[in-house]
């Protein structure tokens, strides 16, 4: 039974600057790319190359070292350095730096498969793994792990085309311009999971994409393209599952616990590229937008290209930005160094003017209005979680289920006192995880 989710907010979608602009490649290729070894959930990869090595586009340059996905060169050229560099997650992370030779010499070791549905699930999982595919919606979970852990447990596959964050149009343009890959990728994922049918959920502010994908599915009718009410955070995994299937993921649970596997539409297209065309994940679509940007664009970008290069491609700043974010205004992360590179999960570079940005520095006292409670899609009590977090009372914050917070930012958005609630929940989660790790180490030492 379909069921709308609780809470949520209705921010202006602000997508008009780029939602009609076709994806374009960079007019000037980057001279150098910086490819971080940590672009996914799990352990950082281990580099396979050293300074002075020559590399080709699609060549594997880093191998997994635990949970993760391999990493490939996005340009051909020479490895200039393997060293820590700034990245979008904050701080520095070990990165492979490649000087571009501008020859685009191909070097993928993947084999194209004209009939992907003739492959076995195991073969598909292996190709997806070797292609280095991770969730393209931003979460960065290794896709081959999601498929293999869902085998035999999942009865519903959903592609997430909601793209509910304001400003971002990367998935919208992908669905319009490369819809065949999205549908083809969906069918490959269904085959890998042993499913005959699947769903694609798209917010109703993208009805052209809904209609286009419906026409591509055609008479086969194995995939249902479902328009979703435009309400943030409709694209959050738990909310999308509830809307499509009526199933509610229990606190602390995962989609597989209710028989579901959710993939971003960009992930499906990357799966198609890997399986059908033999291309590993080396590039992605990035929306460069915000009122500070002179010519907002949807760009096709080699991984490792700097934010500064993208901003230059979009005409530079026409007004000084108040802040530059990776991602949208609700869940995006502020960047303080424009040398940071595009990674597998970068869907937008958002440059907000002071007028567009919420005045973070003017937080007032909580008014006890409970608006944050009313909009929380996870049924949490942000006001109390924040009050305890302010006092470093982590066990009380944990009891209030802060670990279930999906950091959607709805409470921040609605709070009339402009209290930076999500920031305080991120800190609380960090502290709680740290305490748990310390406790575990203590117990291990005792044992």
> How distant, in Å, are the alpha carbons of 100, 190, 229, 327 from that of 302?
11, 28, 33, 17
Q: Considering beta carbons, is residue 207 or 369 the nearer one to ligand SF4? A: 369
Identify the three-state secondary structure at position 54.
Answer: strand
Binding residues with ligand SF4: total (CB under 6 A): 30
By the rule CB under 6 A, 397 interacts with ligand SF4: no
Place of tokens 């002075």: 52
Stretch that binds ligand SF4, among 65-73, 126-134, 260-268, 379-387 (CB under 6 A): 379-387
Q: Considering beta carbons, is residue 237 or 291 the nearer one to ligand SF4? A: 237
Stretch that binds ligand SF4, among 103-111, 117-125, 198-206, 371-379 (CB under 6 A): 371-379
What binding mask, one character per residue, do residues 422-441 give for ligand SF4 by CB under 6 A, x or -?
x--x----------------
Instruction: State in angstroms the smallest separation of the CB of 328 from ligand SF4.
Output: 13
Figure out which of the listed residues 192, 340, 380, 400 binds ligand SF4, where binding follows CB under 6 A: 380
- The span from the CA of 62 to the CA of 34, in Å, is 13
Q: Considering beta carbons, is residue 268 or 414 the nearer one to ligand SF4? A: 414
Q: How far is CA 317 from the centre of its chain?
A: 25
- The span from the CA of 84 to the CA of 349, in Å, is 22
Selection from 129, 107, 128 nearest residue 55 by Cα: 107
Given a contact cutoff of 8 angstroms between Cβ atoms, the answer to whether 150 and 261 are in contact is yes
By the rule CB under 6 A, 371 interacts with ligand SF4: yes
By the rule CB under 6 A, 382 interacts with ligand SF4: yes
Instruction: State in angstroms the smallest separation of the CB of 147 from ligand SF4.
Output: 27
By the rule CB under 6 A, 367 interacts with ligand SF4: yes
Identify the three-state secondary structure at position 248.
Answer: coil
- The span from the CA of 344 to the CA of 71, in Å, is 10
Written as six digits, the tokens of 126 are 């292996």
Identify the three-state secondary structure at position 354.
Answer: coil
Q: Considering beta carbons, is residue 99 or 390 the nearer one to ligand SF4? A: 390
Figure out which of the listed residues 240, 376, 389, 397 binds ligand SF4, where binding follows CB under 6 A: 376
By the rule CB under 6 A, 368 interacts with ligand SF4: yes
Question: What is the chain's length?
Answer: 447
- The span from the CA of 44 to the CA of 392, in Å, is 30
- The span from the CA of 57 to the CA of 304, in Å, is 12
What binding mask, one character per residue, do residues 404-423 give for ligand SF4 by CB under 6 A, x or -?
-xxxxxxx--xxxx-x-xx-
Q: Considering beta carbons, is residue 275 or 380 the nearer one to ligand SF4? A: 380
Residues in touch with ligand SF4 (CB under 6 A): 366-372, 375-378, 380, 382-383, 386, 405-411, 414-417, 419, 421-422, 425
């Amino acid at each position: 039974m379909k069921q709308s989710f609780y809470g949520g907010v209705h921010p202006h979608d602000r997508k008009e600057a780029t939602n009609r602009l076709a994806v374009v490649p960079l007019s000037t290729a980057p001279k150098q790319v910086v490819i971080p070894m940590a672009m996914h959930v799990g352990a950082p990869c281990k580099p396979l190359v050293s300074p002075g090595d020559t590399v080709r586009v699609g060549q594997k340059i880093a191998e997994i070292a635990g949970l993760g996905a391999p990493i490939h060169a996005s340009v051909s050229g020479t490895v200039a350095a393997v060293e820590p560099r700034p990245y979008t997650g904050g701080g520095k992370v070990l990165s492979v730096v490649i000087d571009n030779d501008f020859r685009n010499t191909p070097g993928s070791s993947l084999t194209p498969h004209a009939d992907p549905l003739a492959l076995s699930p195991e073969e598909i999982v292996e190709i997806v793994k070797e292609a280095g595919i991770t969730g393209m919606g931003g979460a960065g979970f290794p896709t081959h792990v999601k498929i293999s852990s869902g085998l035999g447990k999942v009865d519903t596959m959903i592609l997430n085309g909601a793209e509910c964050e304001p400003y971002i149009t990367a998935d919208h343009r992908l669905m319009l311009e490369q819809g065949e890959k999205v549908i083809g990728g969906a069918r490959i994922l269904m085959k890998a999971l042993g499913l005959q049918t699947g769903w694609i959920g798209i917010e109703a502010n993208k009805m052209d994409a809904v209609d286009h994908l419906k026409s591509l599915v055609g008479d086969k009718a194995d995939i249902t393209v479902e328009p979703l009410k435009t309400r943030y955070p409709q694209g959050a995994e738990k909310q999308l599952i509830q809307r499509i299937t009526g199933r509610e993921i229990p606190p602390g649970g995962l989609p597989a616990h209710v028989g579901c596997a959710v993939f971003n539409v960009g992930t499906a297209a990357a799966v198609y590229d890997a399986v059908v065309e033999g291309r590993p994940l080396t590039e992605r679509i990035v929306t460069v937008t915000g009122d500070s940007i002179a010519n907002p664009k949807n760009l096709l970008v080699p991984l490792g290209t700097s934010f500064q290069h993208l901003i230059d491609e979009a005409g530079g700043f026409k007004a000084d930005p108040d802040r530059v974010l990776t991602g949208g205004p609700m869940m995006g992360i502020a960047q303080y160094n424009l040398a940071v590179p595009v990674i597998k999960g970068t869907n937008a570079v958002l440059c907000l003017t002071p007028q567009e940005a919420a005045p973070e520095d003017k937080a007032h006292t909580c008014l006890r209005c409970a608006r944050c409670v009313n909009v929380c899609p996870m049924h949490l009590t942000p006001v109390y979680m924040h009050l305890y977090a302010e006092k470093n009372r982590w066990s009380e914050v944990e009891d209030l289920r802060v670990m279930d917070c999906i950091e959607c930012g709805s409470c921040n958005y609605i709070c009339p006192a402009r209290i930076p609630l999500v920031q305080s929940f991120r800190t609380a989660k960090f502290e709680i995880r740290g305490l748990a790790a310390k406790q575990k180490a203590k117990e291990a030492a005792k044992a």
